[in-house]
Each structure stands twice: as structure tokens, then as C-alpha cells.
Amino acid sequence: MATRRVPAPQPPSLKPEQAIPILEGLIRKGEENLGPERYNSPQRKEWAHTGEGALIAALGNEDPAIHAFRSSQCGSYGPSDTDERLWRQANRQLNGMLSVLRSVVEQLRWKLPDPQQVFMPPGSQHDALCPNPVHYSASDDRSARHRSLGRRDFMAVAYKHSGQL
């Protein structure tokens, strides 16, 4: 009898500071774009594959959230299913996957020094308001941020760290 190969445990390859913006982007895309898509559209499939890859990168391959994300994609199918029924089922599955992603983001935030930290996606309106936008991670030190940020941005960072904001 052939033995079944089990993949070796894989640790997370992304820090929470890196994973959260990726997962939040997937959540946004799922909420805004996928609901109207056909139940078997390539966009839905691509989103699900990307979501699973992001979860594995954020949590490692043995986290229970990976199983929950995969289980959310299960459904029942029959020969008399209508497109409407399949579309509703696909949206229920999408909602299940979105709930897993939201839960993981919340849990990853527990690992941050400031769980309320806001991650602005590149190209967001925030970038348009800042003359020289800088995207930095929490591991950057304050003096490096001061050198790379404009005065207005540095003052906001300084006030935040002083507790006056």
C-alpha cells in the first residue's frame, strides 16, 4: 500500500504588518466586486486561490483558519440546480470565506504593538494628500520616519506617539 505524503509544516512567511494590508485588500475586493459575478467565474476562482495563498503566507499551512477557508467553499450540487441557486450558494460561500479573512485580520492585529494601526493601500486617497507618501512598517524607527516624512506627516506621527492625538 502506498503511503500518503503529508506536506511538511510551513511557518508564516509574512509578518502581520505585511499580511494585514494584503488580506484587507482581498476583503475589499470580495465585498465590492465578486457578489455579482457568475457562480463559476474565473474572478471568483482566482480570488479564492489568492485568498488561500495569502492565509498560508500569513499563518503557515497548519493553521485552523486555512481549513475553515477551504470548508467555506464546500457546497451541494445537483443536476436540477438553476443558475440562480448556484449563484446564491456561491455568494454564501463567498461570505464564509470573507468571515474567515476578517477573523484572521482581527487575530493578526493582536500581534501588533498598536492593534488600531491603519494600513493605507498604495494609491489611496491618503497618497494624494501627502506630497511625498511613504509606506513604512512598524519595524522602522522614529528617526528614519522623520527623515523620510514631510513635516506635516511627522507631526502627526509625533503627536500619536506622545499620546496627544
Q: What is the mean pLDDT of each run of 10 residues along the chain (165 residues)?
A: 80 95 96 93 96 97 96 92 94 97 96 78 56 46 38 38 42
Closest C-alpha to 93, from 112, 118, 76, 115 = 76
**What does the domain layout of the chain look like in residue ranges?**
16-109, 125-162
Q: Within 10-138, where are the H helices?
A: 16-29, 42-59, 64-71, 83-109, 125-129
Please give the Cα distance from 19 to 13 (Å, whole number): 9
pLDDT value at position 41?
Answer: 94
Where do we find the cell 457578489?
35
Other CB atoms within a 10 A radius of the CB of residue 97 amount to 26
pLDDT value at position 4?
Answer: 80
Q: Summarize pLDDT for 33-48 with one digit per residue, the tens.
A: 999 999 999 999 999 9
pLDDT value at position 139?
Answer: 42
Residue 154 parent element (H or E): helix 151-162
